A and B are shown apart, each in its own frame.
Chain A
Amino acid sequence: MGPARRLSALEQDVWAVFRQATKHDPHVYVGDVHASDPEMALLLAKEQYARRDPCVNLWVVRYSQIFATDYGDADMFRPATDRSFRFGGSHRDQQRVYREAGRRRDDEE
């Protein structure tokens, strides 16, 4: 077999590595490795990204399988209208009720 179709050194053989520190943590993207198959990618990922940092599990994903939003479209993550109701801190009335209930309890004790 001659040197047939050349794998694109820029993308085809690049894998994204996700490391899970403990079972309580999500897998987090930590960097890339070059490899020709998943086993090699996992082996290199272990050597490169789990030498010091804690790890219970690794994922490797071919770059060609990753779909992403565009940084140019980052505006779409900014809410168009006030969405403060999504955050606990905005529920002032609820907090006031709790605080007052707490004070009353303290007074009674």
Chain B
Amino acid sequence: MSDHTHTEDPERLAEFEARVAAGEQVETGEWMPGEYRQEALRLIQMHANSEIMGAMPEREWIPRAPTLSRKMALTAKVQDEVGHAQLLYRVAETLGRSRVQMIADLIEGRSKFHNVFHYPAETWADVAVIQVFVDGAAMQTQGALRSSSYAPYARVMKRICYEEDFHIRLGLDVYRTLADGTPRQRAMLQDAITRWWVPLLHFFGMPDRVSPHTEKMLRWRLKVKSNEELRQQFLRKFVPIIQEAGFTVPDPALRWDEASQRYAYAEPDWEELKRVGRNQGPKSAERLALRQDYHRRHRWVREAVERWGLLAA
């Protein structure tokens, strides 16, 4: 980032960039520009944080799931998400920051997690919306990152996408059950769609500007597609799921433009995204406090494990 200007050997840098441009991937332990390492770490650490924080809104619904089979499927999904966090923290570690440090960064509010996990899951219909649309949005980003230039990240992304695909299918089952349900169930689902619409647009980040930073991230294949490309890809796949079930997208300006093959939509309030990014979302403080509380309560477990490790070594 700007506060960290690395001066690299231009010859080595040129060689690295040529390799990445040729589609080659970078492995742990290989030489990489300092800025590449830092950007990859920032990206993967935030992704790991988002998996672990993303388990929280759905976790709240495990005790209240409407049937036993829904409860079991939801529990399994939450386990998958926490598993993804473990995989991703391990990949981030290979770039030089310990998992212990990253967990501390997260719960002390020094690192970020995705905007959508700062919002409440008020009803069971929110669970459907999270599983279909939030996971669907994540799938656009993650699917693209399977061709990331950082090989350990790309490998883990394959496994994660494989599991996210199950989650979307599970979510569509919950979604269709509510969509085919009573007027009250349909109203509940419409309400959830309405509340989640702006956070979903925000999910992909700020509109594309031609910035040297974005350009470099794309050139290094730490980003594979631009924010707006991913947002449009999401809208193409998921707006029909809302409209075909007879629900309304809460944006009167939304329309499909045949000529450009894109959706036009009303600009959401980008200031809200920035606020949420600073952990000032509606649920940021409460969820971080819960994480901190569990971290404190589990301290004796970590200490016991560490001591046992020293004895066993």
Q: Chain A interface (Cβ within 8 Å of chain B)?
A: 1, 3-5, 7, 9-10, 12-14, 31-34, 36-37, 40, 47-48, 51-52, 71-72
Q: How large is the interface on B (under 10, 10 to 19, 20 to 34, 35 or more residues)?
A: 20 to 34
| Minimum C-beta distance from A32 to chain B (A) | 5
Q: With A48-B83, A48-B86, A71-B27 given, is the CB distance from A9 to B310 under 8 Å?
A: no
A31 near B30 with CB under 8 A, answer: no
User: Can you list 30 A-B pairs, Cβ within 8 angstroms, ordered by A?
Assistant: A1-B307, A3-B303, A3-B306, A5-B310, A7-B306, A7-B309, A7-B310, A7-B313, A9-B98, A9-B99, A9-B101, A10-B98, A31-B90, A31-B156, A32-B90, A34-B99, A36-B305, A36-B308, A36-B312, A37-B309, A47-B79, A48-B83, A48-B86, A48-B87, A51-B79, A51-B80, A51-B83, A52-B163, A71-B30, A72-B30
Task: Write out, one digit per residue, whether chain B residues 2-32 have a CB within 8 A of any chain A CB (1) or not (0).
Answer: 0000000000000000000000000101100
A37 near B308 with CB under 8 A, answer: yes
A31 near B159 with CB under 8 A, answer: yes
Of A3, A9, A14, which one neighbours B100 at CB under 8 angstroms?
A9
Complex-state Cα separation, A10 to B100, whole angstroms: 10
User: A8 — nearest CB in chain B belongs to which residue?
Assistant: B98
| Minimum C-beta distance from A36 to chain B (A) | 3
Q: With A9-B98, A9-B99, A51-B83 given, is the CB distance from A4 to B30 under 8 Å?
A: no
| Minimum C-beta distance from B299 to chain A (A) | 12
A36 near B159 with CB under 8 A, answer: no
User: B309 — nearest CB in chain A belongs to which residue?
Assistant: A36
| Minimum C-beta distance from A94 to chain B (A) | 37
Complex-state Cα separation, A33 to B90, whole angstroms: 8
Within 8 A of A (CB), among B83-124: 83, 86-87, 90, 93, 96, 98-101
On chain B, the residues within 8 Å of A3 by CB distance are 303, 306
On chain B, the residues within 8 Å of A13 by CB distance are 309
On chain A, the residues within 8 Å of B27 by CB distance are 71
B309 near A14 with CB under 8 A, answer: no
On chain A, the residues within 8 Å of B305 by CB distance are 36, 40
